[in-house]
A and B are shown apart, each in its own frame.
Chain A
Amino acid sequence: MAYSEKVIDHYNNPRNVGSMPKEDPKVGTGMVGAPECGDVMRLQIRVNPETQVIEDAKFKTFGCGSAIASSSLATEWVKGRTVEDALSIKNTDIVRELALPPVKIHCSVLAEDAIKAAIGDWKRKQGAEESQASAAAAPAED
């Protein structure tokens, strides 16, 4: 399959690969999978509680080149945006940016779902935070 130059670039130099402590209340983790191929993706965001701005993002993807490129691009795009703004990122934006062929659309869907799942997880944590104001410090784990 002929990958576009941008896909190859992200594939060879993926941005923001890694992980953040899942228990950190400022971190939201999105874990998603594509049942078509059995590939899995994890995308994490760290949000500034005052400004709601996503200050950092990390990903790890076990999947095809397009899925790796999509998630790499997604971490670049969410950084510096507010949580609400990041929710507006659509898989079609990723398809356009990376020039993905139709058979690779599900790989970009995976990245959009991962952003949504990470934000959803972070929001859940905020709700839980408020209900138990004396949350213990996050255990150090990576």
Chain B
Amino acid sequence: MSVSSLAFPACWNCGAPPGGGHFCVGCGKIQPLDPASGYFAFFGLPEKLNLDAADLDRRYLALSWKLHPDNFVRAEEFERNLSLDRSSVLNDAYRVLRDPVSRAEYLLARHGVRKEGQTKQQAPPELLEEVFELNESLEELRAARRSGDAAESVALARSLETAGRNFQAKLGEVDSELAGAFGEWDAALDRSAGEDDRARLMARMNEILNRRSYIRNLVAGVTQELGEAPGE
């Protein structure tokens, strides 16, 4: 699935065969973006999930400098537009790849594993139960704070803190599970693992990410609630 294997037109300026890069290998002119190439290829990276953040930052800075519309003020409008296109994709790609969770979500979406409204897979019932209960205590705390019942509010805040710590710990567990799956995915790419192996790994990452979204939601809810002083 490398970029160069995709049928894409020759250079618009000199007719050199497509190299898949941002600029023509023959004449150096900026090239239109191949919509199929994706964010990893944009940075010249393989679709690996353990990514060196400092390396990504360097690539981002180098590219933003090279693709910047300021470099094209005297060029044709066509080239200027290409530079604008590439600069905006650059920023999207950087934002998505920089964060490990959105990076994994992107990879799964790109391979059709994660689709809006189609995730039929249910989280384990104990987790949903727990998520539900914590949501209920959050709701109680909000109500108690609104009604100004100070004593109850203090007790609730304390139990929320405990719950929040538990969920923070759970989030940590899920994240290390995810990190393990990242390692397996990268190793699978290294040994050119078959479709089945990859599909199995992606399904597992999808399941981990689903669990993560409930927990993250709760951690955020607890943080927000505890962050607001009572009566505010």
Contacts and interface: CB of A to CB of B under 8 A. Distances in A.
Nearest to B217: A38
Interface string B198-222: 0000000000011101111110000
A128 B82 CA distance: 66
| Overall SS of chain B's interface | helix
B216 A38 contact: yes
A37 interface: yes
Contacts of A40: 128, 131-132, 135, 214
Nearest to B129: A31
A105 B129 CA distance: 23
Interface residues of B, number: 23
Contacts of B122: 32-33, 113
A60 B132 CA distance: 9
A35 B132 contact: no
A109 B117 CA distance: 8
A117 to B, nearest CB: 8
Interface residues of A, number: 18
B119 A32 contact: no
Interface in A9-66: 31-40, 42, 60, 62
A36 B128 contact: no
A91 to B, nearest CB: 9
Contacts of B2: none
Given A31-B129, A35-B123, A62 B135 contact: yes
Interface string B111-129: 0000011011111010011
A106 interface: yes
Given A31-B129, A31-B132, A42-B132, A36 B117 contact: yes
Residue among A34, A40, A105 with the most chain B CB within 10 A? A40
Contacts of B128: 31-33, 40
Nearest to A113: B122
20 contacts: A32-B122, A33-B122, A33-B123, A33-B131, A35-B119, A35-B121, A35-B213, A36-B116, A36-B213, A37-B213, A38-B215, A40-B128, A40-B131, A60-B132, A62-B132, A62-B135, A62-B139, A103-B116, A106-B117, A109-B117
Given A32-B128, A40-B132, 5 more contacts: A35-B209, A35-B213, A37-B213, A38-B213, A109-B117
Interface of A: 31-40, 42, 60, 62, 103, 105-106, 109, 113
